[in-house]
Amino acid sequence: MGGKEMEVDSLEGVGPTTKQKLTDVGINTILDLAIRGPSDVADGIGFDMARAIELCNKARVKLVELGMMERDFVPATEILERRRKIGRVTTGTSSLDDLLMGGIETQAVTEFYGEFGSGKTQICHTLCIMVQAPPEDGGLDGGAIYLDTENTFRPERIYDIARARNKDADEILSRITVAKAYNSAHQELIMGEMGSILDKTGARLIIIDSAVAHYRAEYLGRGTLAERQQKLNRFMHLLTRTAETRNVAIVLTNQVLSTPDVFFGDPSKPVGGHVVAHTSTYRIYLRKAGKNRIARMVDSPYHPEHEAVFILNEKGVDDGPSDPMKGKQISR
Ligand SMILES: Nc1ncnc2c1ncn2[C@@H]1O[C@H](COP(=O)(O)OP(=O)(O)O)[C@@H](O)[C@H]1O
Ligand SMILES: [Mg+2]
């Protein structure tokens, strides 16, 4: 994606100064402008909200003209057309694939939440490998971007899982791009740059492990709760827009609190509460049951709610030995 018509200064009223400011906050194209939205633009380059809204609207109009974004009112047939382009990534286990009706979807944000050690990070690592497979093997023939906020990304683990799955581990590693976020502002900055990273790498999967940890750590206290929710809300909407407009799969993890926390609500509920829950397209709750892990699809508009059993082993995630689904090939 490129060309002169995609440059921000092709929009009326954007001169070299504004262009530079936009570039500084990772907005390089009019598509970036539309995806990031007015709040980000206002904060990023010091425009007042009205000007930022006007600028983003201009970007939207231009994208519609270029056929790169849908008009506000669209025929249902067009939506169907876009939804036909939804791709799926196998999780590497038939039980989880069955739960997800074929795997993780593009154009969607999938949230895995659960207690410490429930397998969230292992699922993320495995997906980075599976997405690289050709479509006939359950992948999207694309790379992965791993936004690591808890310093739990391990290239060695990728290497081991890839080898256990008889894949070229060096080749697999070369198609994974890692960004470590040191705080929530940095996490937002990285997410803002995602457009150009997607262009450069052709990745089809974005992992955010974990999406909420920094927000939780930084915003302690009722006084800042509203601000935290607002920032998280903005971050989540950026994820949704990125997934839809770029036709990529986005997977995020979310921890469940083990101890009651007055600032973050019910200990059995994922951190970030309603903001993350309402914005994620699919939500899967993970829990430990001895050596097994149990996944349950929550609140999906069309997945029948049921549970899947899986284990964590040298292949990352795998079907458990006692799993009746093991070996059963499901159609994708
Ligand atoms: N190489 C491995 N072989 C088998 N199991 C592993 C391996 N590495 C990690 N695990 C399992 O993964 C668990 C950690 O899961 P993880 O995905 O990191 O949890 P979280 O949900 O906190 O992200 C460990 O407790 C262990 O059971
Ligand atoms: Mg983890």
| pLDDT tens digits for range 258-311 | 555 555 555 556 666 677 878 899 999 999 999 999 999 987 767 776 899 999
User: What is the dihedral sign for C-alpha 297, 298, 302, 307?
Assistant: positive
Through-space distance between the first and last CA atoms of the chain, rounded to whole angstroms? 29
Rounded Cα–Cα distance for residues 299 and 282 (Å) = 7
Helix (H) or strand (E) holding 89: strand 88-89
Per-chain residues with Cβ under 5 A from ion ligand 2:
120-121, 152
Q: What's the 53 CA to ligand 2 centre distance in angstroms?
A: 37
Q: What's the 146 CA to ligand 2 centre distance in angstroms?
A: 12
Rounded Cα–Cα distance for residues 260 and 120 (Å) = 21
Domain 85-319 has CATH 1.20.1560.10: no
Rounded Cα–Cα distance for residues 48 and 38 (Å) = 9
- Which residue's entry shows tokens 């930022």? 52
Ligand nearest to the CA of 210: 2
Task: Give the number of the atom of ligand 1 that is nearest the alpha carbon of residue 119.
Answer: 17
Rounded Cα–Cα distance for residues 113 and 256 (Å) = 6
- Which residue's entry shows tokens 């790498």? 201
Q: Are 217 and 150 in contact (CB under 8 A)?
A: no
For ligand 1, whether the C-beta of 206 sits within 6 Å is: no
Q: Best mutation site among 146, 161, 312 for ligand 1, i.e. most ligand atoms within 8 A of its Cβ?
A: 312
Q: What's the token pair of residue 271?
A: 């951190």
130: amino acid identity, one letter: M
pLDDT of residue 223: 61
Q: What's the 59 CA to ligand 2 centre distance in angstroms?
A: 37
Ligand nearest to the CA of 114: 1
For ligand 1, whether the C-beta of 316 sits within 6 Å is: no
154: amino acid identity, one letter: R
pLDDT of residue 265: 54
- Which residue's entry shows tokens 């074929």? 102
For the chain, domain boundaries: 4-65, 85-319
Ligand nearest to the CA of 112: 1
The model's pTM is 0.85
pLDDT of residue 102: 93
Task: Give the number of the atom of ligand 1 that is nearest the alpha carbon of residue 312.
Answer: 5
Q: What's the 121 CA to ligand 1 centre distance in angstroms?
A: 7
Mean pLDDT in the chain? Answer: 88
DSSP assignment of 236-259 equals HHHHHHHHHHHT-EEEEEEEBPSS
pLDDT of residue 246: 93
Rounded Cα–Cα distance for residues 281 and 315 (Å) = 27
Q: Which residues of the chain have pLDDT under 70?
A: 1-2, 221-223, 258-273, 301, 305, 322-332
pLDDT of residue 119: 97
Pairing of strands 307-313, 316-319: antiparallel
- Do domains 4-65 and 85-319 share one topology? The answer is no
Q: Which CATH superfamily is domain 4-65 in?
A: 5' to 3' exonuclease, C-terminal subdomain (1.10.150.20)
Task: Give the number of the atom of ligand 1 that is nearest the alpha carbon of residue 124.
Answer: 17
